[in-house]
Amino acid sequence: MKILMFYAPSFWFKTYERVLESVPDQNREDSAENAIVVFYHVEAGDTGRKNAVLTKLIKNIKWLAGKFNTKTLVLHSFNHLSVSKAPAEFSRELIEGAKARLLNSQFTITETPFGYLNEWKIHVAGESLGKVFKEL
């Protein structure tokens, strides 16, 4: 798994186009403030190490959220960080597990619709830790 995390004083998105036939039609628009925005890409090799990837994902999100004293999170599937791709069903399962654990830690989570292209606006903070890339 690869993740690109941003500290965003503001984030906005709107659904643009459905790209997975297996997901329901949606027309959504939402925003978040003072958020950690996580662009994630689940890779094929992650299927054999789900628990380890999930643990590392949660740890990295909590670490960066702690640096900016926020419990607001945006999750965005971004399959542009690697040529390797896990099956969509596995990616959803992994992220649903992450969401459940983060909700138990009192995070507020906004998620862009999975299986959609979205338009978005993001204001990224200038601090060095405002932009973090990790391979899990």
Domain that holds residue 124: 2-135
φ/ψ of residue 99, rounded to 5: -60, -45
pTM over 0.85: yes
Alpha carbons 15 and 49: distance in angstroms, whole number? 31
Local confidence pLDDT in tens for the 136 residues of the chain:
999 999 999 999 999 999 988 888 999 999 999 999 999 999 999 999 999 999 999 999 999 999 999 999 999 998 888 889 999 899 999 999 999 999 999 999 999 998 899 999 999 999 888 999 999 9
36, 5 contact by CB (below 8 A): yes
Alpha carbons 14 and 60: distance in angstroms, whole number? 26
Alpha carbons 116 and 4: distance in angstroms, whole number? 18
Q: What CATH number is attached to the domain comprising 33?
A: 3.50.80.10
Q: How many structural domains compose the chain?
A: 1
